[in-house]
Structure formats: C-alpha cells, structure tokens
Amino acid sequence: MGPTGSGKSDVAEMVAAKLGAVLVSADAFQVYRGFDIGTNKPNDRSRYELIDICEPPEQFGVGEFLQRCGPILAKAWEGRIPVVVAGGTGLYIRALFEGYADLAGPPDSAVRAELMQRERESGLGALAEELTRLDPDTKVDLANPVRVRRALERIYCPTEPVKVDLPPFNQSKFSLEVEPAGHRALLASRLDAMIDRGWIEEVKMLQGKGIAQNAPAMRAIGYHSWIRYLSKATTLDEAKEEILTLTVQYAKRQRTWLRKEPRLRTLAVEPGSVRSLKAVAASIWTSAAKRDG
C-alpha cells in the first residue's frame, strides 16, 4: 500500500518476482480498458490480475473486487503460490484482508444497463424522483448519478452480502511512506511525464470513442480536467495545476486512511529513488521468508 506515486507498484513487482508470486491489482480505476496513462497502469499489465477487465461505462466497486479476488486466491493457495496485492484503493484491501462481511454484491447487469439508459434518456432528475418515491427516507446525494443508480439497483435487485473467506495464507501488510514536500515535487514531475507519454491524446481518443463524461471510469483524477482543457474552457497550465492539486489532496486522504489501517507496517522511501525502492523490496521479501520459515 501507499499514497499515489510512492512507488508501490515497482516494489510489488520486485517482491512478486523474487517470491514467484501472483500479482493482484487493488486499484479502482486500473480495471477500465483505455484509461491507461491517467491511471498509471504498469508497463507489463500481463503480470497482474484485475487490470483491464471492465469497459468504461461499467460500475466496479468493492463488492465486485471481492468476488473477483476469491477464485484468484483459491487457485494460488491450491498451487501453494504466494500472492502480492498492490494498490492505492484502501477500501479494497481493507475489505479483503479484514474480513468485511456486510458488503452488497454486484447487481444484475441488465438492471444496471437499464438504469443507465433511462438516465441518458430522461435525465438524473427522473431517477432521483423515482428513488425518493420508492425510499422516502433515503440519505443518498440526489445530485450524484452513481449513488442514485446504485440505490435503485439495491431496491430493484437486492443481492446477498459478499464475503471472501481467505485461504490461510500468512499475511503481512506494508505501506510506503514518502515525505510530503518531496512527494509533491515527485507528483509534479510524474504529471509532466504522463503528459509527454500522451495523456491528453488518450483523453481525445476516449472522447472519439463516445465515452460519456459521467461514465464511472471518468471519475479517475485528471480526465475531466483534460476534457475542459480540450474544450478550451481552461489553459494547459490551469489544467495541470488543477490535476496536481487534486492528486496531492488524494495522496493526503490516502495517508489519513493508512494511519488507521490495521496490522500495517510502514516503510520510509526516498521520493523517486530506485535504490530506496529496491531496499524496501528486499526488506519485504526477507520478512516474508522469515515468516514462512
């Protein structure tokens, strides 16, 4: 685990290579096809499970993540293969490792598709009115289309709670810690590199494919900022500053989350230092080897 840009994917890949482990991505947006540069997908996605498994209009949340993880972990355990889970979506990892049992499973795909079609045709207001009629006491933000649709999905298609019974792996959780001031500079440099790699062109491509601005995948940081830039609503510098600010704020929220994460061992890393990341990876696999005897 670790805040965005801390190097956790690099460390996870080093550890997995050393241990011969299965790599599982626990990232809420790397599941979406086509959203590559902006979500910082790894260079070799074939090494990972749960990357590029959804189309941009599909909903994917913690319930879907848990259901997908179950068979992966069971197969690894059967083959006595270690597993390395890596990602920045703290809820996914906490739900998997701490045994949350009260999470709703994914609804019927036909119900979800119907609600999305009705929103396109009649607007969010019609769905919000329907929700308040069916559930007058709802506490859902009626201006949030995702929350409104999910609330209606739960009404029309109640599902059994999702629970993943983890195989009896020895478990360890590690988090990379980066000094905030140095981290901001690293994130700014990373943003420039993402632009050089073609992030703006990626957004153009997605627009050309007709991906709606309210598609779940579009909630990833930066995509709406680039859409406004491409429509000439902002300048390049304004879009960059907005994305950097949102990213730094996200990293701060991740740090807050990690401070409350159970059974977490924190490891300090130097911003952007490959040598530091290699040292942390060595510490992790040494710890794993000792624990496994």
Read off the pLDDT of residues 118-137 as tens digits, 9 standing for 90 and up: 888 889 998 999 898 888 88
Residue 107 has a pLDDT of: 63
**CA distances to 51, 89, 124 from 151, in Å:** 27, 22, 13
168 has a pLDDT exceeding 60: yes
- Describe the strand order of the beta sheet including 83-86 as a list of residue ranges: 48-49, 22-25, 83-86
Mean pLDDT computed over 63-89: 93
Measured from the Cβ of residue 158, the count of other Cβ atoms closer than 10 Å reads 10
Mean pLDDT computed over 161-169: 79
Q: Which of 247, 222, 281 is nearest to 35 (CA)?
A: 222
Q: Which of 51, 2, 48 is nearest to 280 (CA)?
A: 2
Kindly compute the dihedral angle of the four CA atoms of residues 224, 229, 232, 236, in this order, to the nearest 10 degrees: 160
**CA distances to 29, 61, 148, 215 from 54, in Å:** 9, 11, 21, 12
pLDDT tier at 104, thresholds 50, 70, 90: low
